[in-house]
Every structure is written in structure tokens, then in C-alpha cells.
Amino acid sequence: QVQLVESGGGLVQAGGSLRLSCAASGSIFSINAMGWYRQPLGKQRELVATITSGGSANSADSVKGRFTISRDSAKNAVYLQMNSLKPEDTAVYYCNADIRPYRSGYYYNYWGQGTQVTVSS
């Protein structure tokens, strides 16, 4: 069984930094794209940043220049370094990945359980 587990959320003052981590575990053959999404309270889930298996990254305009996504393929992990945090970055952050399990010819999309990030003003 494949699962994604996030860590690193918490409470931080505006202007501060946090680093989110997400590790995939289980019966994994390969991982394609990985990414981070967030969902502010009462709002829809939105893309934050994604990174391909080759390391090409993309991020939302709202976080460009402040957030950096990276991955460690050997550890099946993806990270989100968040700097210059703003109150509007407050949300539950979710890890996402396209994973091909062993004994499967297909990639499936998986979500983590989410980690809360709260930025105080």
C-alpha cells in the first residue's frame, strides 16, 4: 500500500520560514511528478508547486520567488521551502504524487493527509 506522509507544518510569524517534507512509502516502482497543493479554510484547493521526475519545477505566481520545491528521488521525497511567509499563505498543505506501484502498469495519483501552516501577522 502506498502512502504519502507530510511533516513540517506549524505556526510562524509573517516574514518567517518553514520547510515542508513529504515522503512516499510502500510498494513503489516509480514516481513521476510530485507536488504541493494548499487549501485555505473555506476555499478550494490550489496548486502551489510541482516538480517532475527530471527536476523541472513549476510554481504558482503567488509564491514565485518565495517558495522553492525540490525532491530527493532516492528517498522518494519532496520538499517545499517557504520563505517570506505571509498571512495569506495560511492553509492546509497537501503533498501529491503520481506513483506506479509494483505489479502495476499504471500510475495512480496519491494525496497526503495534509499539514497545517499558519502565518500570524
For the chain, percent of residues with pLDDT exceeding 70: 100
Contact yes or no for 94/6 (Cβ under 8 A): yes
Enumerate the β-bridge partners of residue 6.
22
Q: What is the mean pLDDT of residues 45-67?
A: 97
Look over the chain and give the mean of its residue pLDDT values, rounded to a whole number.
97
- Per-residue confidence (pLDDT) for residue 81, from 0 to 100: 98
What is the phi/psi pair of residue 88, to 5°? -70, -5
Given the DSSP bridges, would you call strands 91-101 and 115-120 parallel, antiparallel or unpaired?
Answer: antiparallel
